[in-house]
Amino acid sequence: MIITWCQSYNNTFNPMKTKMSLEFDPSEHFHDFKIEIRPERDDAVDISWCLFVFVDGDELTMMCGIPYLSNKAKLVFHVWNRENTVPENADMFNRFSTKAFFKDLIMPAPQGSLCRYGEPFRGGKNPVIKFEAGIGSEKLLTDVSPFIEVLTPCLPCQGMCSKYMCNSACNLNDRTNYVFTLQDTNLAPVKTHVNETGHLENKTLAYYLTVKAVLGSGLEATSSSSAFYVDDTPPVFDTDIMNSQIYIDVTQGEFTPVNYQASTDTIKAFWRCYDDESQVADIQWAIGYTVGAEDLQEFQSVGREMVAENKTFDGMLYHNTSYFVSVRCINGGGAITQWNETKGVIVLIVPPETDDLNNTLPGTEEFPNEVFPKDARESKDPTSIGMTFTASEDESVFKYDMCIGSAENIDDILPCQWVGINASGSAMIKDGYLYINGFKARPLSVMQIQNNSINSSVDMSETFHMEPGRTLFMTMRVCNEAMLCSNKSLGSVTITNNKTKLQTSEHGESIRVDYDGFSSRRKKRDIPKLSVTTPDGLMPGQSIMLQPLDVEELTTDYRADVALNFQPYIVNPTETEDMVERLLFKRMRSILYSFSITPVGHLPMPGPLNITIEGKQEEDEVSRISLIYWNPIGQQWMLSYRTCDGSEGITKNAEGTQTFFVCNTRSLQPNTTHRERRFAEGSFFSEETQFVVAVVDKNVYNSPPVLLSPDVLIMDEDQGTIQYSLRAFDEENDVIEYYIEPSFNVSDINGTVFLTKTGILLYTPCRDCTGNEQIPVVLQEVQRDHLITPVHRLITLTISVTQLNDPPIVFMTQYGQNILHDDPTEPVLVYLEQMNAFNTEKWSSEFSATFGAYDIEKQDLFISVSEPLHGRILLSKAKTSVPDLEACPLHQNLTTEPCGNFSHSLPHDKNTLSWIYANLTYKQNMSSSGNDFVKIHITDSLNATSTVITIQFVLMESPCQKKGACTPKRNYPCRSVHRAIDFDKNYICTCTQGYAGKYCIDEIDECQSSPCVPPYVCYDMINGYYCDCPADDPNCVLRAWAISLIILAVIIVVICIILGSILLRRRYYKNKEPLLLSWRFREDKNGKVDIWLNQYNTAAELSAHVGERLYSTLSLKTDKDYDTESQLSDHEIFLRNLLAREDIPYADQKNVDTESKLSDHESVADEDADIESKLSDQERFSKSILAMDGNKDVDTDSKLSDHESFSRNLLVREDEQDIDTDSITSDHERFLRYLLAREDIPYADQKGDIELVNRF
């Protein structure tokens, strides 16, 4: 089954899924799977992106509606088991695994492959050189408008495509969207035909645009668009929408049509236009100061959106000014319709004035005293409140709201309610209803739903009942049509009753209110009296009210159900005694009485308010009387003496009374820092507050934390790091921090431990460690108040590490070092050449290695090895001794035991482990190729199994004979697993010279070209041939004419030599300068004789030449380099032969000593008789060459023979200084003189000289 689904990021769109059953097994053969994402157009406007799945070219599934994918989208290929199923392991050597094979997969195309693969639009072997376009009535047809060339693409100059009209300015990585235009098409929008009823009917015609891509090779490919239509009618605007309010004020919401707006930087409008034929393709809008103008914003496209806004008009829109929007609608055929809005939107920036409004507060009255502020009033009715109002002179005003709050400009008691338009009227809350102009407008429950629309579980009650002493601030909100509003304060109203005590400061002096507490009706004991005294510096008329609170006041349900978060400031102490601040936790023993104090108009005191408790005090050793107050914001009882500065806010007087200093009673977290800040800013008592006189414990209650989470942790050996969250409870809800007991040394445990302050414990046992660890942990309170002493609790946390049997850890070494991968399950690849009888020189060495395992629990270990299919393995006897893991020996081999840095990976000392290891040798079969596997695993006595080691022997096919070599024809090197699978697919044989054929089996016959000249015939050799007489005529070369020709050639050569010598002598006598010559000759294997003559200008040059040759010959003799004789010059060979003659001394002192007494010729003559007999025929021939001059011309100056002159000239130095005595003559020079004096020693002795002598 093929399942295709699409799920967008963050589930922006609903997931989609399609599935289709397959009629074949996809695992049996290779199949061509293709995923294609392309747009599909059902009409001229709407485009839907679809995902297609093809199998072997057939469309299998289609899923449309997927999001558009940009060119940066990435394709991720992922494979997983269906339902995450993993089969059970039945074979230890073959663990579960699966593989996916891809054939001819190219992702992406190789760099430079502009001439890619397949047809155009999918790439091609040749580039696209032009595009043609036409129009037809069906796909792939051009019957309406034939093909014409529309554009020529730009081709980069790269790779194989450089030969086709390339352009160096083109970039291979650029993506280009081509746009072209077809003109003079004359497409009709409709066709008139007779319908089934016999009436004429217009039928919309559909056309298809077809594009043809032409390759450089001439191949073509075509593709057609979806259907498009011709529309010659313009779009239409919806007049009902366009004639209403189309402007939206963004300050009032996202979709509230208005004629006025308060936004000073944004104009937003909406519209509706449509086109039934070709649909709306584009919409443009403009904004101007007059109808149809675009001087504020020119026409801009918004696509097909029916709403638009411009937020860039900051500082450009003016108060009480109109602005107009114009809209253009363009259909799919390009027709335009424009609507110019004529009403416009008026911008209002200034809020309305409220000074001309007259208001009263019905049901209220002035205080009996002249109080300040002067607009403060009182009301005896806690369930009713209201106001009256008159019309405003501002014509833009259209809305009046009534708001009631606990402070100015706050509506937390009655959220602002629309109670009138710009006309006189009244509004009143009474009996659970809102009355407007004396009529019931709506119940409080309706306003409650409006104000709590987010919360669907609102209590549908209609109660409005205020506490005595509550001050209500009345506000009237006046708004214009742009919803710019101004608030007018109507004054404050304080709820009073007949128990209320009011005191007013006439001239700013301190005032005092006394309360005896008799109204509390307590008769069993005396009630302590109290007095409330304000500080000096009051404003004239500033007043306070003391409100005694009896059971009736304390048990009444005070509510303002129309408000969302109304909190009464009076509560019943007996029902809220557990709602206390931290310092009062479990300290309140009894409540004596309760009262409230209200500053009229919420005017703040200029200093702390003093409350003195008089009379007999109910105190003992453990309790005392204290003054506490209710904080409606924090919803808790708090100590009143902690509301001022950092000093103690209580004073014990001499007469046995105590005075409490009260400041801000609305602080949530009183602490020293905040109290000092409030005192410095003058934030003193300013709001109505409920107080109680109570008996409390002297000592603050505090209990140590209690651990809730278990104190014993259990984990497995080598489980890794365990993360454990400690949870503790504190009765007082104090913050708890966690610490390891400071005296505990964490280095004493077998592992590492870390504990955060929030209770997160991280413990990592050491490797292979087991047992119990006990860690002391402190549960420490953190107190924010210095009056509370923090306490702690010490607990012991036990961590139990359970022992598990660890499997043996495998290794495989060569030369003592581990050769396994970091992931030991990865196969060890061993490349071996196929062993054939014809490629013995290529055979690989046998693979040998040492494998084994060690066990942490020191159990007995057992080796299991699988048998290969294409070879055999040899195993040595397993060893269980501890290997020597120190430095590796100097001479290592493949099976050297583990050594050197192998020990770096051991978890423990080698002597604490049990060992087993053996040597493995693999011997491959003859002519076998492919992948051969040997798998090894080791088990312990508890049946724990190690990781399976897989050795993959890649037996690489080697069909190349006669020393032919493997050559890749793809990207796979010859040393690759691909060579073990299919040699012919990926490789070829490169033959050595002389052989050819697919596998170099065929020997090349070089005689096929008949290279030999008759009478010789050609004999084939390996990479060569030779010419010789036929087997039946071995002496074909010794014919009479051939022998005569050879003799004639020899005679000509001899004559040339004689003539050359004569000419040289005559030149010498003519120039009166000696002519110094040396000559060499050589005979090759074909009997050809080469002769070289070298001329020297001076005897010194000739001497230097001979000396250099002699020196190089002596050096060759010393180095015993006799293998390079073919590289020696003739002269070097000659000198070398001389040195080999034992009868010729290099430096014979006996001869040298008498040399000065004899002439050169006499010295030589004395020894001629002895040496002559020792000369070979070749040497005699050389001597005859040197003595060819029989005339023995005499030099009249020196009276010396030519031979003597030649010998003497060799010894002449370059500075022309004659050598007179032997004392300054070196052995080398004497040796040269001696040699030159010997006429029986030839100059060059070479191979083949004897044959040449015979021929002469």
**For residue range 4-19, what is the model confidence (pLDDT) as tens digits?**
878 776 666 677 888 8
Topology given in CATH for the domain delimited by 236-347 = Immunoglobulin-like (2.60.40)
Band (41; pLDDT cuts 50, 70, 90): low
Long-range CB contacts (within 8 A, 24+) of 1116-1121: none
pLDDT of 232 higher than 80: yes
With a cut of 70, say whether residue 1243 has pLDDT above it: no
Please name every residue paired with 956 in a beta bridge, in sequence order, or none if there are none.
833
Percent of the chain with pLDDT over 70: 74
Give 767's Cβ-side CA count (13 Å radius). 7
Range of weakest confidence among 405-414, 853-862, 907-916, 1126-1135: 1126-1135
**CA distances from residue 192 to 38, 189, 201, 203, 675 in whole angstroms, order as listed:** 35, 10, 5, 6, 92
Q: Is the pLDDT of residue 711 over 70?
A: yes
- Selecting from 2.60.40.10, 3.40.50.880, 2.10.25.10, 3.30.2320.50, what CATH number does the domain 809-958 have? 2.60.40.10
For the record, the structure tokens of 703 come out as 């209990």
pLDDT at 945 over 80: yes
Q: How far is CA 1011 from its chain centroid?
A: 69
Beta bridge partners of 625: 695
How far is residue 957's CA from residue 982's CA, in Å, rounded to a whole number?
Answer: 8
The predicted structure's pLDDT at residue 121: 34
Q: How far apart are CA 761 and CA 738, in angstroms?
A: 9
Containing H/E element for 204? strand 200-204
Query: Cβ neighbours of residue 696 under 8 Å, at least 6 residues apart?
Result: 584, 587, 588, 589, 623, 624, 625, 626, 628
**Would you say 699 and 622 are in contact if contact means Cβ atoms under 8 Å apart?**
yes
CA 46 and chain centroid, separation: 37
Average pLDDT over residues 91-100: 64
| CA 143/CA 134 separation, integer angstroms | 8
Read off the tokens for 794: 């010490």
Q: What is the DSSP string of 325-359?
A: EEEEEEETT--EEEEE-SS-EEE--SPPP-TT--E
> Which one-letter amino acid corresponds to residue 853?
A
DSSP helix/strand/coil, 252: coil
Mean pLDDT of 360-382: 95
For residue 744, give the 3-state DSSP assignment.
coil
* CA 939 – CA 945 distance, rounded (Å): 4
pLDDT, mean over the chain: 79
pLDDT at 112 exceeding the cut of 60: no
59-63, 582-586, 600-604, 1208-1212, range with the lowest pLDDT? 1208-1212
The C-alpha atoms of residue 1102 and residue 1094 are separated, in whole angstroms, by 9
CA distance 158 to 172: 8
pLDDT level of residue 903 (50, 70, 90 thresholds): low
- Give tens-digit pLDDT for 483-517: 899 999 999 999 999 999 999 999 999 999 999 86
Name the β-bridge partners of 284: 301, 328
Q: Which pair of structure tokens corresponds to residue 956? A: 């690489």
Nearest to 324 by CA among 404, 249, 267, 239: 267
| Residue 1104, SS3 per DSSP | helix
Say if CB 281 and CB 297 are below 8 A apart.
no
SS3 assignment, position 1210: helix
User: Sheet harboring 760-765: ordered strands across?
Assistant: 722-725, 760-765, 751-755
Is 830:953 a contact under the CB 8 Å cutoff?
yes
Kind of pairing, strands 559-560 and 464-465?
A: antiparallel
How far, in Å, CA of 769 to CA of 976, rounded?
45
CA distance linking residue 502 with residue 500, whole number of Å: 6
Backbone angles phi, psi at 1073, to 5 degrees: -130, 145
Peptide bond into 1074 cis (omega under 30): no
Look at residue 687 and tell me whether its pLDDT is greater than 70. Answer: yes
Site of tokens 């393709």:
281
Residue 208 is encoded by which pair of tokens? 């298809």
- CATH superfamily to which 359-495 belongs: Immunoglobulins (2.60.40.10)
Return the higher-pLDDT residue of 715 and 895: 715
CB contact at 8 A, 296 and 344: no
* pLDDT over 80 at 1140, yes or no: no
pLDDT at 1159 over 90: no
Domain coordinates of the chain in residue numbers?
Answer: 2-74, 128-229, 236-347, 359-495, 505-697, 706-802, 809-958, 1006-1037, 1048-1255
Rg (the chain; Cα; Å): 59
Tell me which H or E stretch contains 681.
Answer: helix 672-681
706-802 is classed CATH 3.30.230.10? no
Using the CB atoms, write b or e for 1139-1155: b if 16+ within 10 Å: eeeeebeeeeeeebeeb
Backbone angles phi, psi at 220, to 5 degrees: -130, 155
- List the 359-360 sheet strands across, edge first: 359-360, 385-389, 425-430, 433-436, 439-443
Phi-psi domain of 562 (left: phi exceeds 0; alpha: psi -120 through 50; beta: other): alpha
Cβ-contact 1248, 1122 below 8 angstroms:
no
Cα of 976 vs its chain's centroid, Å: 31
**Phi/psi at 235 (nearest 5 deg)?**
-70, 170
Asked if residue 1250 has pLDDT above 80, the reply is no
The model's confidence at residue 1132, banded by pLDDT at 50, 70 and 90, is low
End-to-end Cα, the chain, rounded Å: 99
User: Each residue of 979-1014: pLDDT tens digit?
Assistant: 998 899 889 999 998 888 999 998 888 888 788 888
CA–CA separation, 1065 vs 1193, rounded Å?
A: 10
> Which residues, other chains included, contact 225 with Cβ-Cβ below 8 Å and sequence gap of 6+?
41, 208, 209, 210, 211
How far apart are alpha carbons 200 and 1144 in whole angstroms? 134
Q: Residue 522 — very low, low, confident or very high, per pLDDT cuts 50/70/90?
A: very low
Sign of CA dihedral 62, 65, 67, 69: positive
Name which residue leads in pLDDT, 32 or 567: 567
The strand pairing partners of 987, in sequence order, are 968
Residue with tokens 């919401």: 253
CATH fold match for the domains 236-347 and 1006-1037: no
Neighbours of 1051 (CB within 10 A): 11
Q: Contact at 8 Å (CB) between 839 and 960?
A: yes
* CATH number of 1006-1037, picked from 2.60.40, 1.20.120, 1.10.287, 2.10.25: 2.10.25
Q: Residue 116 pLDDT more than 70? A: no
Q: How far is CA 933 from the centre of its chain?
A: 37
Q: Compute the average pLDDT of residues 813-823.
A: 85
Distance CA 1197, CA 1186 (A): 23
Could you tell me the strand order of the sheet in which 530-533 lies? 512-515, 530-533, 609-613, 658-662, 650-652
d(CA 469, CA 89): 82
